[in-house]
Amino acid sequence: MIPRYSIPEMAELFEDEARMRLWLEVELLNVEALASLGSIPAGAAPAVRARAPKVDAAFVAAVAEREKVTDHDVAAFVDVVQEAIGPPEGAWIHHGLTSSDVVDTALSVTLVRAADLLVGAADRLVATLASQARSYASLPMAGRTHGMHAEPTTLGAKLALFCLQADRDRRRLRQARAAIAVGKLSGAVGTYSNIDPAVEARVCSALGLTPVPASQVIARDRHAEYLWACATTAATVEAIATEIRHLQRSEVAEAAEPFGAGQKGSSAMPHKRNPITAERLCGLARLMRGYLVAGLEDIALWHERDISHSSVERVALPDASLLAYYVLTKMTALIDGLVVYPERMRSNLDATFGAVFSQSVLLAMVSKGMVRDSAYRIVQRAAARAFSEQRSLRSVLAEDDEVGLSPDELDSAFSLETALARAHLAVDALDEVEGT
């Protein structure tokens, strides 16, 4: 992933040095487990760990140079490690293992750590959405369907629904963490032909993983589940960002993302304050869906294993992790700094001359005994007239003898307080959400 979208604490997990440190730790734990079980000399384990190379830039460069000969990264890694440790103990490195034992188990550790960062970021987004939802629980605005005014709602209810969705993403991230927190050291086709299952159990325990049955590789549906959790998280961020983009449009102008001192919205037009963060997040969500498709296609491998998934995962898993963390972090900051224009919300709510109360009027007429379709046609006709004449729907209805509602009944049907009497229920639901 390019540095522009890479937050350091997540990016560090996927650097070559971090990856090879985990490979080395798996190798060292394997030697220690073999020694504890009496499969190799007892003195080999402390000697191997004491003489293990430091994994730094020079080490990574040495592996890369060796790979020019081996054309196999793990084989090159093993060669460099064995050479650094020296004989005779160095010979026990990679004993009984196949490359995927090391790579897949280390990758699981990396993804667990990445998932922990993602869950933490999701915690912060959920908490921020909940806080803002409660702050704006009673702020009325026009609800819209198909982009058109529908009925009144509140900004708090809107944000609360996004919060509940983000909480579901958080649960999916936790489930994905559990799915990927597994390891395997069972050999070339997963039959433990050259390694004791007790070694796998000891190594996985030391790494905080659960050993699972596998072929040469851990089944890739687990990785696809991780990518699904990342993708759906990004989709939720996209949904929130799309809403903000619409609310920030000049014709709407009900809310806007924060605009910093010295910021420029356009290189050409000084007046512009564009929703650039929200637009960026929508774009990155598209990438995330692509990574999910790639992850799903990695599930089907030939027999006990091929490497068609390997090249995909070197790109998809780090990038998806980085982007999911980035979009969560950026959306949290956007919601925390959201600029809200209550007066504009009320002005827009009134802009359709009371049409947002049309259903309330319809139901009041039905309650007085009118046939629903007849009532519908009367209100529909009146709404069109109100718009055409640029005056309130209530006044048009009051002039129509067919309506059959008293002034008090019309007042009740056009009551904003009545329309929003239960809008708080979405915000109230946040009381059951963890961390809010």
Q: What is the largest CA-CA distance in the chain?
A: 103
Question: Count of CB atoms within 10 A of residue 76's CB?
Answer: 19
Q: Is 266 a catalytic residue?
A: yes
Retrieve residue 235's tokens: 């989709």
Q: Left if phi > 0, otherwise alpha if psi is -120 to 50, otherwise beta: which for 249?
A: beta
Q: Beta strands 182-183 and 210-211: pairing type?
A: parallel
Considering only CA atoms, which of 396, 417, 381 is closest in space to residue 152?
A: 417
**Helix (H), strand (E) at residue 19:** helix 16-36
Q: Under DSSP, is residue 139 helix (H, G, I), strand (E, B) or coil?
A: coil
- Cα gap 243→256, rounded to integer Å: 10
Considering only CA atoms, which of 390, 397, 405 is closest in space to residue 353?
A: 390
Retrieve residue 281's tokens: 């997040």
Which one of the listed residues 95, 99, 131, 146 is annotated catalytic? Answer: 146
Asked if 309 contacts 301 with a C-beta cutoff of 8 angstroms, the reply is yes
Q: Is 415 a catalytic residue?
A: no
Alpha carbon 375 to chain centroid, angstroms: 46
Retrieve residue 321's tokens: 């992790």
Alpha carbon 169 to chain centroid, angstroms: 6
Which one of the listed residues 193, 266, 406, 415 is annotated catalytic? Answer: 266
Task: Give the type of residue at 148.
Answer: M
Asked if 52 contacts 106 with a C-beta cutoff of 8 angstroms, the reply is no
Asked if 238 contacts 313 with a C-beta cutoff of 8 angstroms, the reply is no
> What would you report as the CA-atom Rg of the chain, rounded to the nearest whole angstrom?
30
In terms of Cβ atoms closer than 10 Å to its own Cβ (0-12, 13-18, 19+), residue 305 is buried
Sequence-ordered strand ranges (E) for 181-226: 182-183, 210-211
Catalytic residues: 146, 266
